[in-house]
Amino acid sequence: MRPKTSFELFRWTYYFLFWFIGMGVSVVIIELAVGPALQWLFHDTSYQLPTWNRAGRMAVFVVLFSFFAGTVTWFSEKKRTGR
């Protein structure tokens, strides 16, 4: 791999991981803390963890969104800097 190609792969990986970690933390906080708390507050229902099916869909969403957002961020940053 040429140095420039290697650098671009590194930058894309950086943006992907940034979005992946950020979205992963956000989804965990929303699904495990905020969502059930609001549901309990407004509907007076007991606390319930998400099902495995819902957790799997959340994981797929986080991975796909991270790929998309990381790629768009990398491309726009590359275009803006003229690399």
Q: Which helix (H) or strand (E) holds 69?
A: helix 52-81
At 2 the pLDDT is 63
Overall average pLDDT of the 39-66 stretch: 83
12 has pLDDT over 70: yes
Q: How many CA atoms lie within 13 A of 29 on its CB side?
A: 6
Q: 83: closest CA among 17, 2, 7, 1?
A: 7
5 or 82, greater pLDDT? 82
3 or 64, greater pLDDT? 64
- pTM of the shown model: 0.68
C-alpha span between 16 and 78 (Å, rounded)? 14
Overall average pLDDT of the 27-38 stretch: 82
CA distances from 4 to 12, 29, 65, 75 (A): 12, 38, 26, 15
b/e map of 49-72 (b: 16 or more CB within 10 Å)? eeeeeeeeebeeebeeebeebbee
* pLDDT class of 53 with cuts at 50, 70, 90: confident
At 4 the pLDDT is 67
* pLDDT class of 1 with cuts at 50, 70, 90: low
